Amino acid sequence: MRITYFTKFLFGVLLFLGGTVFSQEVGHNSKKAEAHEPIGVQEKIDGDIQHHIQDSHSFTFFSDSEKGIHYGFSLPVILWDNGLKVFSSSKFHHGETLAEVDGSYYKLYHSKIYKTNAEGIINYDESHHATNVKPIDFSITKNVVMMFVTGLLMFLLFSGLAKSFGKGPIATGAGRFFEPIVLYIRDDIAKPNIGEKKYKRFMPYLLTVFFFIWFLNIFGLTPLGVNVTGNIAVTFALAIITFIITQFSGNRNYWKHIFWMPGVPVPMKFILAPIELLGVFIKPFALMIRLYANIMAGHVVLMSIIALVFTVQNWLGGGLSMVLAFFLSLIELLVAALQAYIFTLLSALYFGFAVEEHEHDEAH
């Protein structure tokens, strides 16, 4: 874990280790190297952290910024810009060159693809935002790859567990380590929050979302350096699925509690309805932000503490930062599981609200 970030910065050492990894050399690196020379340590650290927490169009394990070499592999770029355009991200040379596809020019700028003219000019508005056209980007990015890997891993693990149950009542194989967690989600998350009668319907989603988030959080802590669950698009997608499931499983009671709160005077009903309605949207929004912010913050703080080595540049500070980073990594390991748990728990809670039955009209 510590080695991960360490390697990200100790480029010289990693040159020797890079032999096994396919490397891409940027064409005109001499010019670029000169251009990058004056960048200070602080800017470099900021840039690296920014780069780390963002999605990427290529899978880079580490890079040598002095020589302009990146170690990793390219991923396919899929754009929708007056037709489907598929090409390898190696064309961008990590944002250093324009990609020319069927007469259109694309530039990678801050991990986003912009359509440019042949010179690759990016126009900015007053707040330094690029105003170029952004084609819809369906690229298989680093995060998509990690989601795919996680999905595959989950499928193998849990179908294996299911298969081992086919042979007898005691699970065997790697999947059995997750059996207690499956039971925990059923007995301590689904059953108490949704209810004994209706929990079964939501179990597949709760289990999938828990393991998906947990595994991706853990992957975020590995040397792969991916930040999937700390990406707003991912948490948004997860939250919206919870939102849709909640609304579609909402029974009469649920809607009645939103629009016509029972047990309160009529004027209050009119006041409560918009608040309740707002709550319907705030709940998944909070889910989205909570997961995103926790994971993102974890990554940023951890990377910043590791970066202290380069800022202070002495043995004491460096050692201290490593010790801190180690303990922070342990905390992040806890956070990885905790955030997955919270997301699952809250989803279960919302499903519970949606399917709750009131035999009697109690006052609220």
Partner 1 sequence: MDKLINDFSFGLFFWQITLFILLLLLLRKYAWKPILNAVNDREEGIKNALAAAENAKKEMQNVTADSEKLLKEARTEREAMLKEAREIKDKWIADSKEQAKVEGDKMIKQAQATIESEKKAAVADIKNQVAELSIEIAEKVIKEQLSNKDRQLKLVDDMLGDIKLN
Q: Is 158 in the site for partner 1 (CB under 8 A)?
A: yes
- Provide the minimum distance between the beta carbon of 65 and partner 1 in the complex, in angstroms, as a whole number: 23
Q: Is 174 in the site for partner 1 (CB under 8 A)?
A: no
Cβ within 8 Å of residue 223, ≥6 positions away: 1, 3, 4, 7, 61
CB nearer to partner 1: give 116 or 143. 143
Cβ within 8 Å of residue 186, ≥6 positions away: 199, 203
CB contact at 8 A, 135 and 106: yes
In the structure encoding, which two tokens stand for residue 53, read together? Answer: 């927490």
Contact range with partner 1 by CB under 8 A, out of 206-214, 254-262, 265-273, 334-342: 206-214
Instruction: Compute how many residues bind partner 1; rule: CB under 8 A.
Output: 46
Region of 252 please: left (phi>0), alpha (psi -120 to 50) or beta. alpha
In the structure encoding, which two tokens stand for residue 31, read together? Answer: 């010019």
Nearest to 353 by CA among 237, 271, 242: 242
CB nearer to partner 1: give 39 or 237. 237
- 106 to 145: interface string for partner 1, x by CB under 8 A: ------x----------------x------xxxxxx-xx-
Q: Is 83 in the site for partner 1 (CB under 8 A)?
A: no
Give residues 300-339 in contact with partner 1 (rule: CB under 8 A).
none
Q: Is 204 in the site for partner 1 (CB under 8 A)?
A: yes
- Provide the minimum distance between the beta carbon of 216 and partner 1 in the complex, in angstroms, as a whole number: 10
- Provide the minimum distance between the beta carbon of 122 and partner 1 in the complex, in angstroms, as a whole number: 14
Residue 134 CA, chain-centre distance (Å), reads 22
CB nearer to partner 1: give 12 or 166. 166
CB nearer to partner 1: give 44 or 186. 186
Contact range with partner 1 by CB under 8 A, out of 6-14, 94-102, 157-165, 219-227: 157-165
Cβ within 8 Å of residue 254, ≥6 positions away: 353, 354, 355, 356
Cα 322 to Cα 1, 302, 303, distances in angstroms = 11, 10, 11
Q: Binding residue for partner 1 (CB under 8 A) from 241, 273, 320, 324?
A: 241
CB nearer to partner 1: give 233 or 275. 233
Q: Binding residue for partner 1 (CB under 8 A) from 120, 151, 223, 318?
A: 151
- Provide the minimum distance between the beta carbon of 176 and partner 1 in the complex, in angstroms, as a whole number: 11
d(CA 42, CA 216): 29
CB nearer to partner 1: give 107 or 257. 107
Contact range with partner 1 by CB under 8 A, out of 62-70, 117-125, 158-166, 333-341: 158-166
Q: How many CB atoms lie within 10 A of CB 261?
A: 19
Q: Where are the beta strands (DSSP E) in the chain?
A: 23-25, 58-64, 69-74, 76-80, 84-88, 99-101, 104-109, 112-116, 136-137
Q: Is 86 in the site for partner 1 (CB under 8 A)?
A: no
Main-chain dihedrals φ then ψ at residue 66, nearest 5 degrees: -70, -40
Main-chain dihedrals φ then ψ at residue 110, nearest 5 degrees: 50, 50
CB contact at 8 A, 273 and 264: no
d(CA 192, CA 190): 6
Q: How many CB atoms lie within 10 A of CB 259?
A: 14
- Provide the minimum distance between the beta carbon of 61 and partner 1 in the complex, in angstroms, as a whole number: 20
In the structure encoding, which two tokens stand for residue 328, read together? Answer: 């922070």
- 175 to 194: interface string for partner 1, x by CB under 8 A: ----x--xx--x--------
- Provide the minimum distance between the beta carbon of 207 and partner 1 in the complex, in angstroms, as a whole number: 5
Q: Binding residue for partner 1 (CB under 8 A) from 101, 240, 320, 337?
A: 240
Sites of contact with partner 1 (CB under 8 A): 54-55, 78, 112, 129, 136-141, 143-144, 147-148, 151, 154-155, 158-159, 161-163, 165-166, 169, 179, 182-183, 186, 200, 203-205, 207-208, 212, 231-234, 236-238, 240-241
